[in-house]
Amino acid sequence: MHAYFDAFSGIAGDMTVAALLDLGVPFADLEQTIAALGLEGCALSTEAVEKGPIRATRFHVDVQGRQPHRTFTTIREILAQASLSTGTRERALAAFRALAEAEGRVHGKPPDDVHFHEVGSVDAIADIVGAAFGVETLGITSIAVSPLPLGSGMVDTQHGPLPVPAPATAELLEGFAVRAGDGEGELVTPTGAAILRGFGAVSGGVSTFRAGRVGYGAGTRTLRDRPNVLRILVGDPVAGLETDVMTVVECNIDDMNPELYAHAVGRLLAAGAVDVTLAPVQMKKGRPGVVLQAIVPPTLHDAVARVLFAETTTIGVRFHDVRRVKLARRSVDVETEYGAITVKISEGPDGQRTVAPEYESCRVAAERHDVALRLVYDAARHAAL
């Protein structure tokens, strides 16, 4: 399922959850998920409201009592201990990690030492976890977002008045299409930006899908020039081109035994990297070196970085997000004279299919039947066409 976030009035955490509820996420299930976090002083409710001519859902998180400031480490422990599905936990963790890294860049601190203020409160945690649960419940696997209005003016924070967008929000929106000066006040909140970044939303990319249901999530304020709602459209992707966001993790190495690279590549792939490349480069003082680059889902970049530190001599790694346009693909098992072989089938916009037998599946079959690997490849391709 593909989702298009039509954020003509911006985006906030509560607006996102409200729109997902409007699309059919059961409120009782959402409430149970938030309760699993074990946070005190938190009551959830919804209501139907009108924002101009649009009927929308409003999501409330009523907080009682004084809430502590929480670090990223604390929130990570809350998510780890809660009874959450893997998908909900990973998306929520990715959103908070993105926010911690953004706050860290603003304040010059390591992400684990960042104290969340507004975003560390119960309502923001409920918004991010609720959004992660809603996306998983609806079966949303890809997200695109419209150009974002940045708003204008100042916003009051724990750090005092700050210009709109807030510094952490501006960091999170790197690479997204934005409209500077569009609208009054804060239209994109840190929570909303963290959800987009952490959930792998694509901005300004290909977003072709068969439109289905539409949900409207209401914001708290009444805007003079537009209805304050987030509109989410969901539907099935059109066969052909797909888009997503991945993270590139890379480092330069000039002092490692070359015999160790093959093992490191294997460990990186096992940790979740979808591709690993080694490229020769000439480094400082004329030394030959290697750029080791891994492409990983955003939620796994910490795990891949740990492998790099464990299996190579690097003392630092770099991260940056990249957007991909790719052909839709699926893996199927085909029957051959050498047994079942897994093949990957992709289809282009013109309907032409490409068949690629999986190496490991072919290798195992070739060894089992004591035949040349190319014979298994040919048999698998013939069976799939």
Q: What is the mean pLDDT of residues 371-378?
A: 95
Q: Which residue has the tokens 């990319």?
A: 205
Residue 53 one-letter amino acid = P
pTM value is: 0.65
Please, are residues 128 and 61 in contact by the beta-carbon 8 Å criterion?
no
CATH number for the 326-384 domain, one of 3.60.40.10, 3.40.50.300, 3.10.20.300, 3.30.70.100? 3.10.20.300
Query: Is residue 14's pLDDT more than 80?
Result: yes
Q: Which fold has domain 243-316?
A: Alpha-Beta Plaits (3.30.70)
- How many percent of the chain have pLDDT more than 90? 57
pLDDT at 187: 95
Question: Where is pLDDT greater, at 35 or 330?
Answer: 35
Q: What is the mean pLDDT of residues 82-109?
A: 87
pLDDT at 149: 94
pLDDT tens readout for residues 150-205:
988 877 766 678 888 888 899 899 888 898 889 888 999 999 999 999 998 888 64
Query: Is residue 317's pLDDT more than 80?
Result: yes
The strand ranges marked E within the chain are 2-6, 42-51, 54-63, 70-71, 115-116, 142-145, 148-149, 154-157, 160-163, 178-179, 202-203, 209-218, 229-237, 241-253, 275-282, 288-296, 318-336, 339-347, 353-357
Q: What is the mean pLDDT of residues 49-69?
A: 87
pLDDT tens readout for residues 263-296:
999 999 988 899 999 999 999 888 999 999 999 9
pLDDT at 329: 75
Which pairs count as long-range contacts for 218-225, CB under 8 Å and 24+ apart, including other chains?
A: 218/15, 218/18, 218/49, 218/51, 218/56, 218/57, 218/58, 219/9, 219/10, 219/12, 219/14, 219/15, 219/51, 220/14, 221/185, 222/51, 223/9, 223/183, 223/184, 224/184, 225/183, 225/184
Q: How far apart are CA 230 and CA 6, in angstroms?
A: 6
pLDDT tens readout for residues 97-110:
888 888 888 777 77
At residue 118 the predicted structure's pLDDT band, cuts being 50, 70 and 90, is: very low
pLDDT at 352: 76
pLDDT at 239: 60
Which of 61-75, 77-91, 200-214 is the least confident region?
Answer: 200-214
On the CB side of 299, CA atoms within 13 Å amount to 17
pLDDT at 241: 65
pLDDT at 300: 83
Which of 15-29, 251-265, 337-351, 371-385 is the least confident region?
Answer: 337-351
230 closest CA partner among 3, 77, 72 = 3
Query: Is residue 206's pLDDT more than 60?
Result: no
Domain boundaries, the chain: 2-238, 243-316, 326-384
